[in-house]
Structures are given as structure tokens and as C-alpha cells.
Amino acid sequence: MIEMLAPLGVDLVELSGGSYESPAMSGRPADERTRAREAYFLDLAKDLVGTSPLPLMLTGGITRRETARRVLDSGVAVIGMGTALAVTPDLPELWRTGREADRQLRPVTWSDKALASAAGMAQVRHQMRRIARGSRPMPNTHPAIALLAEQLKQRGALRRYRTWLNTAGRAA
């Protein structure tokens, strides 16, 4: 299946750690076995590495140096660590000095899985925006605050896009 992507100009295939409804996507693995493994689809990636004509990227729950090393040693070309880096942007430097991250996002324990996942992803985006502005991450930000802030950001972006569309349509 992956070999069909190469002629289409695809140059990397990502194996992601879950879906929006999955606890894995929001950093809450489903069981102890998965939690201990961290890299959610590492077994699948190992199977695909030998036959894939394209490099593979693995994302999903990679937060420790040992796990990242295990993923790379399996032949996976790239690891994705968005959540880990959103909370600890200096993680590569910590790893170089033999240390691990000591921060993590405030857990989202809401019973509505879809809303909890949305809040978890909003927390990550909120931290990334802080970093982009030159501020330090605040991992203890309440999920509801992060979700509200992201909703307001998206509403503003959509308003600007609609204005641009209307202006571009008149110019044509």
C-alpha cells in the first residue's frame, strides 16, 4: 500500500498515535501495556520499515529519550514529539545532558472523550503559541482556558479569512 504513494510525490509517511476520539491522541493511553510502550504504533512501524520504499515518521506519546532511541533504532526515520516539545522546548538539550523532562500538561479528565481530546489538543497549541511569542510554557494551564483561548483564536482567523475571501472575490 505504501509503495503506491511514492509515484504521487509523497516523500514521508506518518504513523500517528491515535484519533481525535482516542485517549492516546490526547496523551492518555488506553491501558498499562500501551502506556509502558509510549510509541503507540512502534510494532507496526517495525513491520513496515523493511518493506516501505518511503521513510516513516512515528508520532504519539514519545516523551522519553529511551523511547525515542528505541523508535529510531527500529529504522523509523523521523519521530514526532509535538506535545513533549510544547511542554519542554529544551527537551533535546535535557537529553544531551542525560536528563528527562519533568513537566507535562495538566491532565484532561473530562468524561466527554471528544471534548477532552479537543481540550488536550488546545493545550498543546496554547503552549506552542506561548513559545512562538517568546514566553515559557505553562503546562498547568487549565484545559478549559486553553480550549476557550484556541476557540477565540480560530474565530478571529476565520473572520480574517472570510474578509480576505470577500475582498479577493471582488478583485477578480
How would you label 94-126 residue by residue, b for 16+ Cβ within 10 Å and e otherwise?
A: ebeeeeebeeebbebebeebeebbbbbbbbbbb
Residue-wise pLDDT tens digits, 11-35: 999 998 754 445 454 445 445 554 5
Mean pLDDT (the chain) is 87
For residues 123-142, give the mean pLDDT: 95
Q: In the structure grid, which three cell numbers stand for residue 51, read together?
A: 518493506
- Is residue 3 over pLDDT 90? no
- Is residue 125 over pLDDT 90? yes
What span, in angstroms and rounded, lies between the C-alpha atoms of 74 and 125? 29
